[in-house]
């Protein structure tokens, strides 16, 4: 253990926390543990202790940081606007650099496979998805993983958009979502077309937005991916994203790359519902029934697009709200894989809140993020993307 | 540690240096150092933890959410910190009797939400209500904006199960309205953990009012706002809440919530009226009239629940939002007679100017409970001395005007040495002896409330109806 390791976070950001504790109830890990160490205030205090030399950067510190879902519920709740997400990404970056050598080889191999080999290469991800599909048919993939049922038809068919010149709006397709939930992209394209707009697809190279890399503190890799994404989406047309985690990351490209090109690009990025709310409303049947809205954290706390989701879904469905202030569901990118115990406890809380909101019957849940959808589906809920729900309601 | 781990389970007691560093302070400024921290999951485990501290003759400090502003949960004397957040079950709700039994770690707002569908709520609503625990509220006798009409925590606590310093458990108070004997429950409320740790608590629930209206009045001088406060009370109206914020704080809050608070106002008043619909409408008109008479620039009535919620979110974020201006704050909590409000405010701003400090004010205007806030950056050399000197000067000004030290946050560590300003040695001695009766060993949250020399006391000296 190296005692010389130091944190080098922005000191002004770090001391901005006045320890008022108003963020505590909005933190999923604090809610299920009641531990200061699993709270935003405690994590900041730990960062301060390490940065100012009062405590070593050791395995305990690493555990505190890694237990954070990076949902940024605390950031939205903090009246002092402590930029928690940025601090946490910084801390993860330092941990990634300094503690790499101490990680077990299995974890390092898994990280390398995921972050470096597969995610940046969409064809490889698709090939692996075919294998996964076969495994799923052979019942080798446990249901509790929440993997949606992969479909041969869906995987075999490419996404199609009307041919023609420059599109009115791009649909960003991304990595895992395109491999596992391509039907949601199809639904999004149908709804986009129903507004009268002409949707387009990215050119080659937009394999992955890099959100997971940023969360893991792998900024250099994230920057490489971001440059490729920007190059694959030329012009000025809005970039519509139907995964809340990706959209949040792409809106932050300006900070990540620190170039004017990236900043301009970031202003073009829209969450699907955010974009749709500004278009002429497509004709829908208004009798879709009751849907419980689940706000993915990066939609609500980071993009503040929770209002837009309600606006567009409300045209076709009767909406029900949970009573937990949009507390995180525990999916958090790769979090449910890395911290399964905490992720499950957090999810149990969420599932209870959803059942309370739904009243009787099996609730139908709308979630605008593939990670949340899979995580909640693994608990036996019927979770749909707003694009799927709206496509179903189109006249 | 071994005893704690054996009694509570291995994960429920910790002593790693980094872990302890997280329990050095509450939301106030003072820091201490804990010897160990434990997280009981049941009231039995809570009693066991206190018993183990007794066995090892070690001090102990109860801690809820650590939102206290007076250093009450700051560990002093190498204590065991006992965290109650794991005791967060609502044990029983009796909607007919309007009583709820809760564990001490239940969050204030969670309780109100849980009984909302019964048409009830828990009335004391400190601005920290989303985060603070009922146990912490009982220990500090917390108040909140709505305590103007409803009364502070003491008026809403019926019975408390207390783990005494030796680990034994006693039940104070009861559900019957007028229990025979001394009101020990009353002594315990506000004792800031110096008389023992609360286990289960029986609280009174209050019916939700049939109609609520929230008004925002804005003024170009603080005096006009203060005069309006007196005017409203003089008109015979008892608002459910009556809150005032000065210019700086209003701007900071508006930057956070975007509720449409006027950025150019010298002061704003937030007035809430509740009751039967017809009566409330009449009161809205009366407040509007009084406001205009005293020079209110605008009077805005919140149109719906969402707008009301946003206005309150602004007010309740006030303390947190000040970090937008500087990273550290020093908060006072003093009550002055309402008639002296304008006077004291002028002095307070003058003191800040004299020490070259930024000063803001947010307070429960209805009962003269001031919260002057000095904001500063610890990293500025010499700033601490100025902050402390200005703080003392402010307290003196409040006391000279006939006020008291603490409206609602408690005395804790921070204001301990100012106690002799308002109490005679005899008073302090009486308080020390009262505390000794509960905790002869002096191990329950040592060195809090009473300055060294007088030893320990309780806080019933706070005038009824006062909170922050
Ligand atoms: C932004 C903000 C706004 C606030 N607004 C208000 C307000 O409007 N009104 C108000 O009154 N206060 C206010 N406060 C202060 C604070 O929230 C209250 O004092 C609250 O009651 C503390 O609760 P807690 O659970 O955080 O207790 P802690 O801070 O953890 O503890 C406070 C004290 O209670 C003791 N204690 C805690 N639990 C127990 C227990 N189970 N048994 C015995 N002793 C115990 C501790 O030892 C300590 O002395 C505010 C604080 C903040 C940060
Ligand atoms: S992060 Fe913000 S809300 Fe949380 S304790 Fe710090 S200042 Fe308060
Ligand atoms: S990002 Fe989420 S999990 Fe992490 S500290 Fe903030 S609220 Fe808690």
At A139-191, the pLDDT tens digits run: 766 666 666 677 767 766 777 777 666 888 899 987 877 767 788 988 999 99
A114 touches chain B (CB under 8 A): no
Domain with CATH 3.40.50 in chain A: 290-393
User: Per-residue pLDDT averaged across B362-383, rounded?
Assistant: 80
Using alpha carbons, list the distances in angstroms from residue A135 to A119, A123, A287, A380, B114: 20, 19, 38, 21, 45
- B193 CB within 6 A, ligand 1: yes
B380 touches chain A (CB under 8 A): no
Residue listed under structure tokens 């991800």: A125
Nearest to residue B33, comparing CAs of B19, B23, B18, B43? B23
Longest dimension (CA), chain B: 68
**Residue B451: is its pLDDT beyond 60?**
no
Domain boundaries A290-393, corresponding CATH code: 3.40.50
Distance CA B244, CA B225 (A): 8
Can you read off the two tokens belonging to residue B435? Answer: 């505390």
Distance CA A369, CA A296 (A): 6
**Residue B441: is its pLDDT beyond 60?**
yes
Measured in degrees and rounded to the nearest 5, phi and psi for residue A183 equal -60, -30
If contacts are CB pairs under 8 Å, which of residues 116-175 in chain A contact chain B? none
DSSP state of A79: T
pLDDT for the residue numbered B189: 87
Residues 6+ apart with CB under 8 A from B390: B351, B352, B354, B355, B357, B374
Q: What is the pLDDT of residues B169-219, one digit of tens each?
A: 988 888 876 666 667 787 788 888 888 999 999 999 999 999 999 999 999
Residue listed under structure tokens 């806080």: B459
Strand-pairing partners, residue B170, are B162
A260: exposed, middle or buried (C-beta count within 10 Å: 0-12, 13-18, 19+)? exposed
Q: How many CA atoms lie within 13 A of A292 on its CB side?
A: 26
What single string gives the DSSP state of each residue in B276-338? SHHHHHHHHHHHHHHHHHTT-SEEEE--SHHHHHHHHHHHHTHHHHGGGT-SEEEE--EE--G
If contacts are CB pairs under 8 Å, which of residues 82-101 in chain A contact chain B? 82
Please identify, by atom number, the ligand 3 atom nearest to the C-alpha of residue A328: 2
Length of chain A, in residues = 395
pLDDT for the residue numbered A287: 80
Q: Which residues of B430-467 are buried (b: 16+ CB within 10 A; e: fewer)?
A: ebbebbeebbeebbbbbbbbbbeebbbbbbbbbeebbb
Using alpha carbons, list the distances in angstroms from residue B205 to A330, B95, B143: 33, 8, 15
Q: How confident is the model at residue B462 (pLDDT cuts 50, 70, 90)?
A: very low
**Contact check, Cβ <8 Å, B86/A34:** yes
Asked whether the beta carbons of A146 and A136 are under 8 A apart, the reply is no
Domains in chain B, please, with CATH?
A: 90-207 (3.30.465.10), 211-319 (3.30.70.2190), 326-411 (3.30.70.2740)
Number of Cβ within 10 Å of residue A177's Cβ equals: 22
If contacts are CB pairs under 8 Å, which of residues 101-120 in chain B contact chain A? 105, 107, 109-110, 113
ipTM of the complex: 0.82
Q: What is the pLDDT of residues B17-38, one digit of tens each?
A: 999 999 999 887 778 999 999 9
Residues 6+ apart with CB under 8 A from B10: none
Can you read off the two tokens belonging to residue A41? Answer: 């205030």
**Residue A374: is its pLDDT beyond 90?**
no
Nearest residue of A to residue B327 by CA position? A16
Asked whether the beta carbons of A146 and A340 are under 8 A apart, the reply is no
Q: For an interface test with B, give the residue of A5, A17, A19 to mutate (most B CBs within 10 A).
A: A19
Q: For an interface test with A, give the residue of B65, B105, B127, B371 to mutate (most A CBs within 10 A).
A: B65
Distance CA B327, CA B342 (A): 28
- Span of A104-108, A220-224, A377-381, B414-418 with lowest mean pLDDT: B414-418
- A69 CB within 6 A, ligand 3: yes
Mutation choice for ligand 2 from A13, A14, A15, A18, CB with most ligand atoms inside 8 A: A18
Q: What is the pLDDT of residues B71-93, one digit of tens each?
A: 889 898 899 999 999 999 999 99
Distance CA B346, CA B351 (A): 9
pLDDT for the residue numbered A144: 63
Q: How far is the CA of A216 from the centre of ligand 3 (A)?
A: 14
**Residue B449: is its pLDDT beyond 70?**
no
- A73 CB within 6 A, ligand 3: yes
Q: What is the pLDDT of residues A5-20, one digit of tens each?
A: 578 888 888 888 888 8
Asked whether the beta carbons of A14 and A47 are under 8 A apart, the reply is yes
Q: Which residues of A328-347 are buried (b: 16+ CB within 10 A; e: fewer)?
A: bbbbbbbbbebbeebbbbbb
- A82 CB within 6 A, ligand 2: yes
Which residue lies with its CA nearest to atom 4 of ligand 2? A23
Distance CA A323, CA A294 (A): 11
Strand-pairing partners, residue B330, are B374
Strand-pairing partners, residue B203, are B100, B157
Nearest to residue A155, comparing CAs of A179, A186, A136? A179
- A133 CB within 6 A, ligand 2: no
User: Per-residue pLDDT averaged across A102-107, rounded?
Assistant: 68
Residues 6+ apart with CB under 8 A from B253: A79, B245, B259, B261, B314, B315, B317, B318, B321
Most confident range, picked from A78-82, B62-66, B412-416, B432-436: B62-66
pLDDT for the residue numbered B114: 93
Least CB–CB distance from A79: residue in B65, B83, B321: B321
Residue listed under structure tokens 């809570």: B46
Chain centre to alpha carbon of residue B98: 24
Q: What is the pLDDT of residues B245-302, one digit of tens each?
A: 988 889 888 988 888 899 999 999 999 999 888 889 999 999 999 999 998 999 999 9
Q: For an interface test with B, give the residue of A56, A64, A79, A345 to mutate (most B CBs within 10 A).
A: A79
User: E strands, chain A, where?
Assistant: 169-172, 199-200, 239-241, 269-271, 290-294, 318-321, 364-367, 382-384
pLDDT for the residue numbered B321: 78
If contacts are CB pairs under 8 Å, which of residues 230-249 in chain B contact chain A? none
Q: How many CA atoms lie within 13 A of A161 on its CB side?
A: 24
Number of Cβ within 10 Å of residue A236's Cβ equals: 9
**Contact check, Cβ <8 Å, A80/B21:** no
Distance CA A190, CA B404 (A): 68
Mutation choice for ligand 2 from A26, A37, A48, A74, CB with most ligand atoms inside 8 A: A74
Quick check: pTM over 0.80? yes
Which residue lies with its CA nearest to atom 7 of ligand 2? A17
A11-102 adopts what CATH topology? Answer: Fumarate Reductase Iron-sulfur Protein; Chain B, domain 2 (1.10.1060)
Alpha helices for B15-132 (secondary structure H): 17-21, 43-55, 108-115
Residues 6+ apart with CB under 8 A from A363: A290, A292, A320, A354, A355, A357, A381, A382
More confident: A359 or B162: B162
Size of interface A-B (CB pairs under 8 A): 106
Pairing of strands B157-163, B211-219: unpaired
Q: What is the pLDDT of residues A242-260, one digit of tens each?
A: 999 899 999 999 999 999 9
C-alpha angle with apex A382: A379 to A386, nearest 5 degrees? 125
């Amino acid at each position: 253990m190296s005692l010389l390791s130091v944190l080098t976070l922005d000191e002004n950001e770090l001391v901005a926390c006045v320890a008022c504790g108003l963020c505590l109830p909005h933190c999923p890990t604090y809610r299920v543990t009641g531990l200061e160490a699993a709270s935003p205030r405690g994590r900041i205090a730990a960062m301060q202790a390490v940065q100012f030399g009062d405590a070593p950067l050791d395995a305990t510190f690493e555990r505190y940081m890694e237990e954070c879902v990076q949902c940024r519920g605390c950031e939205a709740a903090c009246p002092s606007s402590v930029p928690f997400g940025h601090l946490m990404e910084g801390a993860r970056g330092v941990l990634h650099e300094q503690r790499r050598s101490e990680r077990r080889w299995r974890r390092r191999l898994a990280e390398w496979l995921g972050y470096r080999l597969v995610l940046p290469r969409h064809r490889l991800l698709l090939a692996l998805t075919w294998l996964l599909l076969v495994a799923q048919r052979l019942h080798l993939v446990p249901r509790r993983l929440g993997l949606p049922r992969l479909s041969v038809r869906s995987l075999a068919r490419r996404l199609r958009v009307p041919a023609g010149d420059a599109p009115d709006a791009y649909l960003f397709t991304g990595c895992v979502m395109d491999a596992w939930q391509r039907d949601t992209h199809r639904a999004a394209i149908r709804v986009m077309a129903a507004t009268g707009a002409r949707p387009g697809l990215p050119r080659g190279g937009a394999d992955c937005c890099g959100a997971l890399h940023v969360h893991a503190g792998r900024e250099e890799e994230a920057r490489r991916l971001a440059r490729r994404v920007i190059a694959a989406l030329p012009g000025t047309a809005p970039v519509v994203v139907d995964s809340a985690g990706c959209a949040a990351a792409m809106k932050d490209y300006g900070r990540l790359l620190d170039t004017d090109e990236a900043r301009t690009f970031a202003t073009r990025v829209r969450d699907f519902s955010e974009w749709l709310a500004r278009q002429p409303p497509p004709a829908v049947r208004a009798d879709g029934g009751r849907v419980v809205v689940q706000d993915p954290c990066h939609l609500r706390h980071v993009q503040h697009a929770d209002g837009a989701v309600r606006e567009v879904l409300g045209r076709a469905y009767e909406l029900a709200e949970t009573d937990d202030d949009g507390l995180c569901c525990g999916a958090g990118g790769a979090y449910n894989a890395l911290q399964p115990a905490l992720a499950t406890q957090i999810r149990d809380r969420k599932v209870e809140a959803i059942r309370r909101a739904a009243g009787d019957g099996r609730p139908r849940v709308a979630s605008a993020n593939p990670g949340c959808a899979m995580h909640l589906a693994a608990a036996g809920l019927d979770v749909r993307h707003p694009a799927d729900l709206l496509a179903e309601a189109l006249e | 540690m071994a005893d704690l781990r054996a009694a509570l389970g291995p994960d429920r007691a910790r002593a790693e240096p980094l872990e302890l560093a997280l329990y050095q302070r509450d939301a106030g400024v003072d820091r201490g150092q804990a010897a160990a921290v434990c997280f009981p999951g049941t009231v039995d485990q809570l009693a066991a933890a206190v018993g183990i501290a007794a066995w090892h003759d070690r001090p102990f400090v109860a801690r809820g959410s650590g939102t206290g502003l007076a250093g009450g949960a700051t560990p002093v004397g190498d204590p065991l910190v006992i965290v109650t957040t794991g005791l967060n079950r609502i044990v029983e709700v009796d909607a007919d009797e309007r009583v709820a039994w809760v564990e001490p770690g239940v969050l204030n707002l969670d309780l109100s939400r849980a009984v909302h569908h019964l048409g009830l709520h828990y009335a004391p609503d400190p601005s920290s209500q989303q985060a603070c625990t009922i146990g912490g509220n009982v220990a500090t006798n917390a108040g909140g904006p709505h305590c103007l009409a409803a009364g502070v925590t003491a008026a809403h606590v019926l019975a408390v199960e207390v783990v005494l310093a030796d680990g034994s458990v006693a039940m104070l108070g009861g559900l019957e309205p007028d229990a025979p004997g001394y009101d020990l429950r009353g002594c315990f409320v506000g004792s800031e953990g110096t008389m023992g740790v609360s286990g289960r608590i029986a609280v009174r629930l209050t019916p939700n009012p049939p109609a609520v209206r929230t008004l925002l009045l804005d003024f170009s001088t603080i005096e006009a706002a203060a005069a309006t406060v007196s005017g409203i009370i003089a008109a015979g109206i008892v608002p459910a809440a009556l809150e005032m914020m000065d210019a700086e704080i209003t701007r900071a809050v508006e930057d956070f919530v975007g509720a449409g608070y006027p950025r150019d106002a010298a002061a704003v008043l937030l007035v809430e009226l509740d009751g039967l619909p017809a009566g409330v409408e009449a009161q809205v008109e009366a407040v509007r009239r009084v406001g205009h008479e005293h020079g209110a620039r605008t009077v805005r009535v919140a149109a719906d629940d969402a707008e009301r919620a946003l206005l309150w979110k602004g007010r309740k974020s006030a303390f947190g939002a000040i970090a937008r201006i500087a990273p550290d704050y020093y908060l006072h909590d003093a009550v002055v007679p309402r008639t002296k409000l304008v006077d004291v405010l002028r002095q307070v701003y003058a003191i800040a100017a004299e020490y070259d400090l930024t000063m803001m004010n947010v307070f429960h205007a209805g009962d003269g409970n001031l919260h002057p806030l000095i904001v500063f950056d610890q990293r500025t050399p010499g700033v601490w001395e100025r902050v402390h000197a200005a703080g003392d000067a402010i307290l003196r000004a409040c006391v000279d005007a006939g006020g008291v030290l603490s409206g609602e946050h408690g005395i804790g560590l921070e204001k301990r040495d100012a106690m002799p300003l308002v109490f005679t040695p005899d008073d302090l001695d009486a308080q020390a002896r009262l505390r000794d009766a509960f905790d002869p060993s002096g191990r329950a949250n040592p060195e809090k409330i009473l300055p060294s020399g007088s030893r320990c006391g309780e806080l019933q000296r706070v005038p009824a109806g006062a909170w922050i």
